[in-house]
Structure 1
Amino acid sequence: MKPDDFDFLAKMLKERSGLVLTPDKSYLLESRLMPVARKRGLKGLEDLVAQLRRRDEALAADVTDAMTTNESFFFRDQKPFDQFRDVVLPNLLRTRATKRSFRIWCAAASSGQEPYSLAMILKEHAARLAGWKVEIVGTDLSREILQKARSGLYSQFEVQRGLPIQLLVKYFQKRDDQWELDPAVRSMVQFKEWNLLQDMKALGTFDVVFCRNVLIYFDQPTKSVVLENMSKQMTDDAVLYLGGAETVLGISERFKPIPSQRGVYAVARPGYNGPSIGAPAA
């Protein structure tokens, strides 16, 4: 790939998605974008870039989609979901007892496994949540991956990755060579096409935010901006989940780690020491 073409693609992807590509990742561009070029009837990446330079917005969206990592699976890494079930959910039931409502945001929801995992946890606690209004919002940059998420259809391979067999039997039905998630669980999640570089105000305020394995693709200034904007959409005692390889330390002063809860952060507000959550409920 010509250096000028790489620079053009890298700049475009940074502006549209926050994704940072270094020259040693040119192989990634070629492997992911050649199928896009062929689908458009273009000879190769040189023609694809030439078309993008003509401000082909539809092609730019397809290129961004192709370069977005959509790796996801049910109950990924398990511990954050156990922590949500055993610590954060009981805390929400206690602190939101008066208004009986809370909102969860899964940023970069991909094909839906993360928000649906949370929905199944909440479904398992339906008796305790009777009369409550609970919203789960899943957002992603990719329109195509969100269509898959909304369908609730997963392959045998996808349901074998992290999904406990008892939940598979309870909440899924076999449909030919795929598994379909129960419509009652699907209805608990609202999916929206959203770019984390956009103004987040329209999404509303959240009590829990999952933004796992997303920031690793951004450079330091972009991480800082995203975290700052995200903090403004969170209630005073909200919690933020990041991926195991991610941290706010040295990046943002808007969040601080919650003692004894690895990977979980509190919004840092003046005079506020974070939600009073500690060990799992007995």
Structure 2
Amino acid sequence: MTETDHRFLSAFLRARSGLALNSDGLYLVESRLPAVCRRFGLSDPGELIAILRSGAVPEIEAAVVEAMVTQETFFFRDKAIFAQIQDIALPRLLEARAASRRLRIWSAAASTGQEAYSIAMILAGMAPSLAGWTVDILSTDLSDVALERGRLGLYTHFEVQRGLPIQLLLTHFTQAGDLWQISAALRRMVSFARVNLMDDFSGLGIFDLILCRNVLIYFDDETKRDVLERVAARLAHDGRLILGGVETPVGLTETVVACPDFKGAYSHVGCNRISRCDRDSPK
């Protein structure tokens, strides 16, 4: 691939997915694009780049983006975070939402849905407290392939062995041939939708809990700031935004501040604790 083609591909991926190719970018291009070429019967990445330049084949454009973005996820990724969601965030939100009896949760850039289903399993364990509640869990990604896998709730042996406690596997999954399928009850708790964080997603509404983890690390600072501020704008005034372990808004935006009682979570400026927030703030 020529330097000109590499620059074009870098700009294309940044515009379409936010991905900023770092020093490993050439390796990723060389390891992932040949499969796209084979899929569409193209001779080499150079021919592929020429098609991208033409803008004439949206299917190929989508395939390149899906091939290049990282789809790494697993159940209960970072157990400490999920323990805090279960023990701190959800109980306080349930108290704050006692009047409306509605809870909205967004798992952004969620790949094949393990994060959203992890939240659903926590909520299933809190079922007595949620009688009569409306709970919406939205799982979004830019990959149609990943979203369809999430809707089906089918996972390999390797995937269910990554972070999923055996008791939850036995409670919520059934074996389907060589795969494991999550229960219909949990599948009904989670909806899946294609959302590209580079696009306008204000139509999604307001959420009480947003998980946007391990995606900002692939963006440059300008894109991080833009996405973070637009995601934060979807957060209820007393809600929680959870980022990845190495992700932080520090130096990027002052829209959100760290929660002193929840490592890795953020809230709106001036609202450090749910109990001190205006619980009747309009959504």
- Smaller-chain TM-score range? over 0.9
Secondary structure of 2:130's partner?
Answer: coil
In structure 2, the residue matched to 1:176 is 177
Say whether the 8 Å CA contact 2:258–2:272 is kept in structure 1.
no
1:43 equivalent in alignment to 2:43: yes
In structure 1, the residue matched to 2:219 is 218
What do the CA deviations read for 1:80-115 (whole angstroms, capped 9, x no partner)?
111010001110111100010110000011011000
In structure 2, the residue matched to 1:4 is 4
Q: Could you state the TM-score of these two structures normalised by the residue count of structure 2?
A: 0.95
Instruction: Kindly provide the amino acid, as one letter, of the partner of residue 207 in structure 2.
Output: F
Secondary structure of 2:64's partner?
Answer: helix
In structure 2, the residue matched to 1:202 is 203
Say whether the 8 Å CA contact 1:267–1:274 is kept in structure 2.
no
Q: How many residues align?
A: 275
Tell me how far apart the structure 1 counterparts of residues 154 and 140 of structure 2 sit (CA, whole Å).
Answer: 18
What do the CA deviations read for 1:157-180 (whole angstroms, capped 9, x no partner)?
110000000000000001111101
Instruction: Kindly provide the amino acid, as one letter, of the partner of residue 261 in structure 1.
Output: F
In structure 1, the residue matched to 2:241 is 240
Instruction: Kindly provide the amino acid, as one letter, of the partner of residue 135 in structure 2.
Output: V
Tell me how far apart the structure 2 counterparts of residues 257 and 28 of structure 1 sit (CA, whole Å).
Answer: 34
Tell me how far apart the structure 1 counterparts of residues 25 and 125 of structure 2 sit (CA, whole Å).
Answer: 43
Question: Which residues of 2 match residues 102-121 of structure 1 at below 5 A?
Answer: 102-121=103-122
Alignment CA distance shift 1:273-1:118 (3 Å): closer
Tell me how far apart the structure 1 counterparts of residues 22 and 218 of structure 2 sit (CA, whole Å).
Answer: 11
Instruction: Kindly provide the amino acid, as one letter, of the partner of residue 193 in structure 2.
Output: K
Q: Could you state the TM-score of these two structures normalised by the residue count of structure 1?
A: 0.95
Say whether the 8 Å CA contact 2:93–2:239 is kept in structure 1.
no
1:135 equivalent in alignment to 2:136: yes
1:130 CA drift (Å)? 0.4
Alignment CA distance shift 1:251-1:39 (3 Å): same
Secondary structure of 1:114's partner?
Answer: helix
In structure 2, the residue matched to 1:192 is 193
Secondary structure of 1:256's partner?
Answer: strand
1:23 CA drift (Å)? 5.5
Tell me how far apart the structure 2 counterparts of residues 201 and 129 of structure 1 sit (CA, whole Å).
Answer: 27
Secondary structure of 2:254's partner?
Answer: coil
In structure 1, the residue matched to 2:280 is none
Tell me how far apart the structure 1 counterparts of residues 130 and 274 of structure 2 sit (CA, whole Å).
Answer: 21
Percent pairwise identity: 49
Tell me how far apart the structure 1 counterparts of residues 135 and 20 of structure 2 sit (CA, whole Å).
Answer: 35
1:260 CA drift (Å)? 3.2
1:51 CA drift (Å)? 1.5
What do the CA deviations read for 1:12-62 (whole angstroms, capped 9, x no partner)?
000001000135421111111110001111111011111112212111110
Tell me how far apart the structure 2 counterparts of residues 272 and 166 of structure 1 sit (CA, whole Å).
Answer: 37
CA RMSD of aligned residues (A): 1.2
Say whether the 8 Å CA contact 2:259–2:272 is kept in structure 1.
no
Tell me how far apart the structure 2 counterparts of residues 22 and 224 of structure 1 sit (CA, whole Å).
Answer: 18
| Structure 2 portions without partners, runs of 5+ | 277-283
Question: Which residues of 2 match residues 42-61 of structure 1 at below 5 A?
Answer: 42-55=42-55, 56-61=57-62
1:238 CA drift (Å)? 0.8
Say whether the 8 Å CA contact 1:6–1:23 is kept in structure 2.
no
Tell me how far apart the structure 2 counterparts of residues 24 and 157 of structure 1 sit (CA, whole Å).
Answer: 26
